[in-house]
Amino acid sequence: MTGTQAPLGSGFGAASTAHDVIAGIDLKGKNAIVTGGASGIGVPTVKALRSAGANVVVPARNVEAARAALEGLDVEVGPLDLLAPKTIDVFAARFLASGRPLHLLINNGGIGGAPLARDERGYESVFATNHLGHFQLTCRLWTALRAAEGARVIAVSSWAHRTSPVVLDDLMFERRDYDPVLSYGQSKTANILHAVALDRRGAADGIRAFSLHPGTIVDSNFKRFTPPEVLTAFGLVDDDGNALIDPARSRKTADQGAATTVWCATSPRLDELGGLYAQDCDIAPLVKPSDSLNLSFGSPPLGVMTYAVDPDIAEQLSYVSEKLTHVRLPS
């Protein structure tokens, strides 16, 4: 980790939008890949990068649906399923064959809240999608990241990492009861640790990595797996099911949620820094597991857990991830 896990005073805040953050940033000639770029906070992320002149590639399971969602944005869409390792390899190979350097890799796609499912390898689907798929993609694209001579890898995590560390001796819920909250939390902790490990490996080659909590995007797909009465009880929707936006309590629009991603990807304030976790368009403070936590959807506390930015745990997870994916993170 380069830099202190503490706020910088960025000048932005919880209500800032991706449009606010990208103002004055010039990305002409830069290449970006945004997983999950055709839905949720991915769409305003892509819009912001395009508005600054970046060439954007969006991997998608359903290419036609992604093109429709991004119509008019002049982006490249290619097939990729984070649960299907072969498609990751093919996507990465095609990008490398184009000879383009990769300046921004935004690992934004993900799932959560669903019942237990396993991929063709037998891996638990949330961990496999949110972490292992992005781990493999990042490794396969490393040559292009290095060629940029100044690249950033952004891992979109969540305050939900507070619900679970990575359980290295049972990542796939083979010996413990499956809990969708713990599954999602573990995968989001893995995202943060992945950024820590990436930054340690890549800093010498100009590859820096950051992770972040985008906020609770109350008008998003997560509502599919959350009972309406729970959403109402937490004050995320009104009695008619309409989203209640309150950025000060981390209840954000998609455009506000994308702001921290875009800030991590483009802010000059982060030059020479890396391995840090952000929230509300600034570096978040470090908190201890013993601290009193409010884990409600509506009012998540600021900060990142110590176990999520521990470099030793990050290296252990990288080692395990290499074994599970048969792909090696460059040393």
Span 107-148, pLDDT tens digits: 999 998 889 999 999 999 999 999 999 999 999 999 999 999
Q: What is residue 3's predicted lDDT score, i.e. its pLDDT?
A: 82
Sketch the domain layout of the chain as residue ranges: 18-218+253-323
Distance CA 292, CA 39 (A): 34
Burial-class residue 312 by CB neighbours within 10 Å (0-12, 13-18, 19+). exposed
% of the chain at pLDDT higher than 70: 88
pLDDT grade, residue 232 (50/70/90)?
A: low
Catalytic option among 123, 184, 277, 319:
184
Task: Tell me the pTM.
Answer: 0.93
Q: Which CATH number is associated with domain 18-218+253-323?
A: 3.40.50.720
Distance of CA 216 to the CA centre of its chain: 13
The pair of structure tokens assigned to 7 is: 């706020």
Q: What is residue 171's predicted lDDT score, i.e. its pLDDT?
A: 98
Is 123 annotated as catalytic?
no
**Of 160-164, 239-243, 258-262, the least confident:** 239-243
**In 3D, which of 72, 35, 280, 293 has the Cα closest to residue 161?**
293
pLDDT grade, residue 191 (50/70/90)?
A: very high
Q: Which residues pair with 59 in a beta bridge?
A: 78
Crossing angle of helices 42-51 and 254-266, in 10° steps, is 50
